[in-house]
Structure 1
Amino acid sequence: MQILRLSPAACEELYHTALPRDFPAAELKPFAEIQRLLDAGIYEPLLLTDDAGVRLAYAWQVVLPGQRTALLDYFAVRCDLRGGGVGTQALQLVKAYDAMRVHDLLLECEHPAEAPDPAVARRRIGFYLRAGARATALESRVFGTRYAVLSLPCGGTVPDAALCKELRALYKTMIPQPYYRGNVIFYGN
């Protein structure tokens, strides 16, 4: 398995073809916002492929220069490959890719207490925990959706209080005012 960084055009194509199948509409930000982050140089749409270049998974992340954490914005394995270990392998490759520049990769999973399908939310959290992530004391509510915040150690670990501070910084960069205020809320440290 290998990682390729998508061009903006390839990112937009995958956004329109794969993301609507892989994520609830409420979790999809407009592509114009992704384009703004790409233009700012802080958004990394990564494609995980086999040796022939066939898509297996994708991992899109936000990485701010000089910050110890990054945010895994979207991660999905091709539907026909789920449950066979591809996701764990892909996540470990992303972890290795990030290890030289960040300590932790932050993961937000829909909170089971408010998810439309609590069983799916619990399975997703379980997947990340089995892949080496740790539960944090943090939660977020972004545009009305409640998330549990997990942390996947890459090149070290950051305490929850610092994770919260860095997650706030990531979101303040990702979501411009006045949309941030009242629509992005953090709980915990």
Structure 2
Amino acid sequence: MQIKRLSPADCEELYHTALPRDFPAAECKPFAEIRRLLEAGVYEPLLLTDDAGARLAYAWQVVLPGQRTALLDYFAVRCDLRGSGVGTAALQLLRDYYALRVQDLLLECEHPAEAPDPAVARRRIGFYLRAGARATALESRVFGSRYAVLSLPCGGTAPDAVLCKELRALYKVMVPEPYCRGRVIFYGG
């Protein structure tokens, strides 16, 4: 498996073709916001491919210079490969890829208590935990949707209070004032 950084054009194409299939509409931010983050140099859309270059998965992160954590904004495995081990291998490759730059890759997963399909939300969290993530005491509520926050250690791990502080910093860049006020809330940190 290989990692390829996507160009803005390739990112936009994948946004229109794959994201609507892989994520609920409420979780798909407008591409204009992704473009803004790309132009700011803090968004890293990665494609995970096989040796022939075929797409296996994609992982888009928000990475701030000098910060010890990054946020896995979108992660999806190609539909026909789910359950085959590709997702676990992709996450391990991401851990290795980011190990020299960050210590934790944060994940936000739909909270089962409020997810449209609680069983799917529990399976998703279970997948991340089996792949090496750890549950934190943190939760977020972003534009009305509730998320459990997990941490995938890349080179260490920090206490939840530190992770919460860094997640807040990531969101200040992702959702600038005044839009985040009252719409992006963190609990447990």
TM-score category by the smaller chain? over 0.9
Q: Which amino acid aligns with 1:54?
A: A
Asked if residue 11 in structure 1 is aligned to residue 11 in structure 2, the reply is yes
Query: Could you tell me how far apart the structure 1 residues matched to 2:158 and 2:16 are?
Result: 35
Query: Could you tell me how far apart the structure 2 residues matched to 1:32 and 1:158 are?
Result: 32
**Equivalent residue runs for 1:18-29 within 5 Å:** 18-29=18-29
Partner in structure 2 of residue 183 of structure 1? 183
**Equivalent residue runs for 1:28-39 within 5 Å:** 28-39=28-39
**Equivalent residue runs for 1:127-146 within 5 Å:** 127-146=127-146
Partner in structure 2 of residue 168 of structure 1? 168
Structure 2, unpaired ranges of 5+ = none
Query: Could you tell me how far apart the structure 2 residues matched to 1:139 and 1:33 are?
Result: 23
Q: TM-score, normalised by structure 1?
A: 1.00
Deviation at 1:70, TM superposition (A): 0.2
| RMSD of Structure 2 on Structure 1 (CA) | 0.4
Deviation at 1:158, TM superposition (A): 1.1
Structure 1, unpaired ranges of 5+ = none
Alignment coverage as a number of residue pairs: 189
Query: Could you tell me how far apart the structure 2 residues matched to 1:6 and 1:85 are?
Result: 23
Task: Say if 1:68 and 1:158, in contact at 8 Å, map to a contact too.
Answer: no
Query: Could you tell me how far apart the structure 1 residues matched to 2:154 and 2:83 are?
Result: 23
Deviations, residues 6-49 of structure 1 (Å, cap 9, x unaligned): 00000000000000000000000000000000000000000000
Q: Which amino acid aligns with 1:90?
A: A
Q: Which amino acid aligns with 2:142?
A: V
Q: TM-score, normalised by structure 2?
A: 1.00
List structure 1 runs of 4+ shifted beyond 3 angstroms.
none
Deviation at 1:177, TM superposition (A): 1.3
Q: Secondary structure at the match of 2:123?
A: helix
